[in-house]
Structure formats: structure tokens, C-alpha cells
Amino acid sequence: MIIKEIIQIGNPLLSRKSEFVAKIDTEETQRVVRNLIDSARHHDLIGMAASQIGEKLRIFVTEVRKTKYRNLKKDKLRVYINPEIVWFSKKQVVIYEGCGSVAYAKLFAPVKRPEKITIEAFNENGNKFRFKAVGFLSRVIQHEYDHLDGIEFTEKITDMRKIMSSEEYKKMVNGT
């Protein structure tokens, strides 16, 4: 198990577009996938893109579950290699987001995104898959997908006056 530090906003790696993965079954690709999974779990993140650990490959992982901030409806671990979002719903929703690459997830802000998407990608075994994501999973996928294009969620904040610390966000979502 190799835990990678999370690259923080301001590092030029986060603003560069990631490269297409030419071969999925290589040791390098498999190493990146393992490091992403281990690092995301270690840092208590529900999604993580390869650029966040210094790898400029079009790979990200999602694993929606209970975190220190929220008790979310669980979704299995998914690996996305060379993903493409092929459909977005017209309906958009504003939800607060945070990011491990922005002050180590100590900052949350409202971001508007499509409520539903359809994504196509390859998994870590090279099998192509396609599915429709709704709600929070859809949001996580879009957030991580943005990382692959060098976009940080701070570029999509809808109201800068509503930015809050992780402590205030936790109070807001838990009603305390």
C-alpha cells in the first residue's frame, strides 16, 4: 500500500489536462489505480483523480460512503479509465462541494452541475462500461472528471459569499 500526498491547488499539475491511457494492463497503469484507491481511502475522500497524486493520466476513482462530513448512500468502488461523459441532464442543481486538493478538504462552496449524467469508461481490467449516475454519485463523477481537464471546483463556485469551512459545512449538513 502506497499512500500519496494530495497535491494542492496552485500546483501547475492540477491545471494541466491529463493524458489518455494507451494501455490499461501495464504495471504503471495498475500502480496508479492502486495508489489512487489507497490514497483516497486513507485521506477519507469519496473520489480522487490521478492528477491529485501527481499522475497526469485520465484515471479517477469513486467510492461514495460515510465520511467525516456526511453519511452518504453507499456506492461501490469504481475505477474510471479514459472516461467520457456522453450525456448531461438539462436539470441542474446546486450542492456544496469540497476537494482534497483545496486546503485538504477544509473548504466547501456551492457548485451548480447537471443532476444526472451518463458516463462511459474502462475499468482496471480493461472492460468498457456505461451507466447513468444520479444525485451525489453524478456530482462526484463530474467533479473528478473536471480534474482530468485541469479544472478545480473553485472555478465553478456559484456564490463566493457562501464559501464555508469544513467545520461549518459539517454543522450545516448535520443540522447542528
Residues with catalytic function: 144
Cα–Cα distance for residue pair 38/49, rounded to 1 Å: 12
- C-alpha pair distances (Å), 110 with each of 50, 89, 155: 24, 19, 11
Question: What is the three-class DSSP state of 78?
Answer: strand
Cα–Cα distance for residue pair 168/150, rounded to 1 Å: 28
- C-alpha pair distances (Å), 139 with each of 11, 95, 136, 166, 176: 24, 9, 5, 18, 24
